[in-house]
Structure formats: C-alpha cells, structure tokens
Amino acid sequence: MSKISIIAAVADNYAIGTSKKLPWHLPADLKRFKELTTGHAVLMGKRTFESLPNGPLPNRRNIVLSSIQSEGVNEGYYEANSLEDAFELCEREEQVFIIGGEAVYKQSMLIADFMYITWVHAQFNADVFFPTIDFDNWIEISREDFEADDKNPYPYSFVCYKRKK
Ligand SMILES: NC(=O)c1ccc[n+]([C@@H]2O[C@H](COP(=O)([O-])OP(=O)(O)OC[C@H]3O[C@@H](n4cnc5c(N)ncnc54)[C@H](OP(=O)(O)O)[C@@H]3O)[C@@H](O)[C@H]2O)c1
C-alpha cells in the first residue's frame, strides 16, 4: 500500500490559485516540491496538469484525473477517470503525492496519510482554495519557518502533518 501525501502551497486565507496559476512566485516552495516528489508518483486534476508550464513533471509517474478520455497517445503521463483508477495506476509506488488542485484536494482530505503544506503568510485574491483543515484530525510533525528574502517575497513555513490514528 502506497503512502499517500497531499502537497500544497496555501496562503493564510487558504488561497491556492487564480486564473489557472499560483497566486505567487516562491522559488523555495518550488524547490521543496521538486525535492519531495521526485522519484514518486504525482496525482493531479486535469486543470492543474494544463497549468504546468513544461508539461508532465520529469522523473515522476504523472497521473492526470479527467472524466474525458483524451484521443491519441499521452506523452509522459497516465490518465485516470476516477480516484480509484488513479490509485490502481500507482499501486507499486512507495509514495503518491496528491498535487492539486482544489477539486482533487477536496476528494483526498479523508484519504491522505500526510500533508506537506507550505503556508504562505499573506492573503491573496483567488478563485481556488484549499479545503478547510480539521486540525483535530492531524498532528503537526515538523515545521520550519522562514522570513521573506530577496527571492521569496513572503514569509513562509514548511509544515508536515500526519493523520491521527
Ligand atoms: N497552491 C498549490 O499548491 C496548487 C497546487 C495545484 C494546483 N493549484 C491551482 O489550482 C487550480 C486548479 O484547481 P481546480 O480545482 O480548478 O482543478 P483541478 O483539481 O486541477 O482539476 C479539476 C479537473 O480534474 C478532473 N477530475 C477531478 N477529480 C476527478 C475524478 N474524481 N474523476 C475524474 N476526473 C476528475 C476533472 O477534469 P475533466 O473536467 O477533464 O473531467 C476536473 O474538471 C489552478 O489555479 C492551479 O494553479 C495550486
């Protein structure tokens, strides 16, 4: 059974995206995302997939959820039309990262074992939001806090939560 982790960058007002993009540019978060997910499966919704600037993420098994089967060959990713199908495609994977967006996070909140959240300490206008977290169900197992710097314009925290048994 794979370990299932949600990974998301979330603003203090739970904003995660606007106009099919991230509301911020935070290179430290992108670096952490790459370090954590490389070598593992990444599961995402169709709209998140379409928002990737360079197509499928390299060195990761990309699984894209869609109710519409695309025509032709999918270059560098697998398609799944239900969460169940998606998990079947990664049953041999040690770790599966659920990488968004809003629709997929909502469906995964009761399934995931871990959540890797980058809290972006600012408020943003957004059209997509992370689901409300019921902190009664999660234990914070690690936290690193950072100030804004010349490359990262907002303070941010890398926090890992584990589901309570
Ligand atoms: N801050 C972050 O960490 C973060 C991470 C990822 C994404 N985002 C942002 O989130 C936004 C995208 O989120 P979103 O909610 O609009 O879209 P999404 O969750 O990426 O994709 C939604 C689509 O995925 C497919 N889908 C979802 N669940 C499915 C299921 N159970 N079975 C079959 N298909 C399913 C459907 O595609 P079809 O319509 O083709 O059926 C649905 O329309 C963007 O702004 C992106 O930048 C932010």
Q: What one-character-per-residue DSSP string does 65-78 give?
A: E-SSPPSS--TT-E
Tell me if 81 CB under 6 Å of ligand 1. Answer: yes
- Candidates 69, 128, 154: which one to mutate for ligand 1, based on the most atoms within 8 Å of Cβ? 128
Helix (H, G, I), strand (E, B) or coil at 90: coil
The answer to whether the beta carbons of residues 162 and 114 sit under 8 Å apart is yes
State how many domains the chain has.
1
- The CATH number that applies at residue 29 is 3.40.430.10
pLDDT of residue 125: 97
In degrees, to the nearest 5, what angle opens at C-alpha 141 toward C-alphas 131 and 8? 35
Residue 1 has pLDDT above 80, yes or no: no
Q: Is the pTM of this model over 0.75?
A: yes
Q: Is 68 in the pocket of ligand 1 (CB under 6 A)?
A: yes
CA 46 to chain centre: 13
Is pLDDT above 90 for 20?
yes
State the residue range of the domain holding 80. Answer: 3-163
